[in-house]
Amino acid sequence: MVRLDFVTLFPDLVRSALSESIMRRAVEAGIARFETTNPRDYTYDRHQKVDDVPFGGAAGMLIKAEPVALALESLGIHSDQPDPEVEVIVTDPTGDRFTQAVARELSQRRRLVFLCGHYEGIDQRVVSRFATRALSVGDFIVTNGELPALLMADAVVRLLPGVLGSQDSLRADSFGDGLLSAPNYTRPEVWRGEPIPDVLKSGDHKAIEKWRRTQSLLATKAARPDLLAMAKLDKADVDVLSF
């Protein structure tokens, strides 16, 4: 079982998202376990204040180090006792880009701890002391770190054996083989006058596989040509892309 912890000021938001669909299925199957810990529970004042103004006159508010450190230590995470099987991930726009390759790597760990920021972030001292990774889901800013953490958790959990009904679903996903996926169709065969591609009705599995590969290559060339430089391409692929 893989355990995913969320150190968050908004535990209800996290728990709500984790109680649906694939995430709930992973819990019910005993494949994943989710826990939330609120730094507010580790404050000393009656107002449970977790933020303060940054030194140096910067704008906004910053989450203080001590409540976060105490929350992490309550989970058995100690800066002087690193565990290679545990990743402490801070969600931060300055972090490394989160990709499918990173998701696959994280899916091999036995425990992930997501440190979710808010306001202008978290005091750097606690981040430097406890976090093993800083990850960003894209070049944009959201209100809190819970949303990126949930995106990453979903990407990781669906890779765990037994979560999805079929491992073929993983192979067909965009980025599963480094490319975007081919378009998909379901019934009816003709919808509002538009039919599905004839090859998908042919029953010729080899022809269908070739069509899907071609469509995947063309979609990637049109929308994300940068991915082609890292994808494993054979001569037939190169021929498709040369047109």
Helix or strand or coil: residue 6?
A: strand
Evaluate whether residue 167 is within a structural domain. no
Per-residue model confidence (pLDDT) at position 141 = 86
pLDDT tens digit sequence for 58-116? 788 999 999 999 999 999 999 888 899 999 999 988 899 999 999 999 999 999 999 99
Residue 211 within a domain: yes
Question: Is 101 in the same domain as 35?
Answer: yes
Same domain, 95 and 190: no
Q: Are residues 118 and 38 in the same domain?
A: yes
The sign of the dihedral angle between the CA atoms of 134, 140, 145, 148 is negative
Q: Residue 230: is it exposed, middle or buried by C-beta count within 10 angstroms (0-12/13-18/19+)? A: exposed
Catalytic residues: 93, 120, 158, 173
| Bridging pattern class, strands 190-191 and 2-7 | unpaired
38 and 132 in a single domain? The answer is yes
What DSSP letter does each residue of 142-164 carry, written as one string?
-S-SHHHHHHHHHHHHTTSTTSS
Output DSSP code: residue 173.
Answer: S
Write out the two tokens for 29. 């199957």
- Could you give the angle at which helices 21-28 and 11-18 cross, rounded to 10 degrees? 80
**Would residue 6 count as lying in a domain?**
yes
Q: Residue 164: inside a domain, yes or no?
A: no
User: Whats the size of the chain, residue-wise?
Assistant: 243
Higher local confidence (pLDDT), 106 or 177: 106
How far lies 21's CA from each of 4, 169, 242, in Å?
Answer: 17, 15, 41
Any domain includes 168: no
Angle among Cα 33, 115, 38 to the nearest 5 degrees reads 75
93 and 136 part of one domain: yes
Digit-coded pLDDT (tens) for 112-148 = 999 999 888 899 999 999 999 999 999 988 989 999 9
User: For the domain that residue 221 is a member of, what is the CATH number?
Assistant: 1.10.1270.20
Burial of 196 (0-12, 13-18, 19+ CB in 10 A): middle
- The structural domain count of the chain equals 2
Residue 175 pLDDT greater than 80, yes or no: no
Same domain, 141 and 198: no
**What's residue 120's pLDDT?**
82
Full DSSP string of 202-234? S--HHHHHHHHHHHHHHHHHHH-GGGGGTS---
16 plus 109 within the same structural domain = yes
Share of the chain above pLDDT 70, in %: 95
Q: Does some domain include residue 163?
A: no
Angle at 128 between CA 49 and CA 152, to 5 degrees: 80
Looking at the structure, tell me whether residues 71 and 135 fall in a common domain: yes
The verdict on 76 and 113 lying in the same domain is yes
Q: Does 27 score more than 70 pLDDT? A: yes
Residue 27 · residue 160 · CB < 8 Å: no
Indicate whether 118 and 221 sit together in one domain.
no
Question: Do 10 and 62 reside in the same domain of the chain?
Answer: yes
Buried b / exposed e over 29-54, threshold 16 CB at 10 Å, is: eeebebebbbbeebbeeeeeebbeee
176: pLDDT confidence band, cut at 50, 70 and 90? Answer: low
Cβ atoms within 10 A of the Cβ of 10, count? Answer: 18
* Domain housing 128: 2-157
143 shares a domain with 25: yes
Q: pTM score, two decimals?
A: 0.86
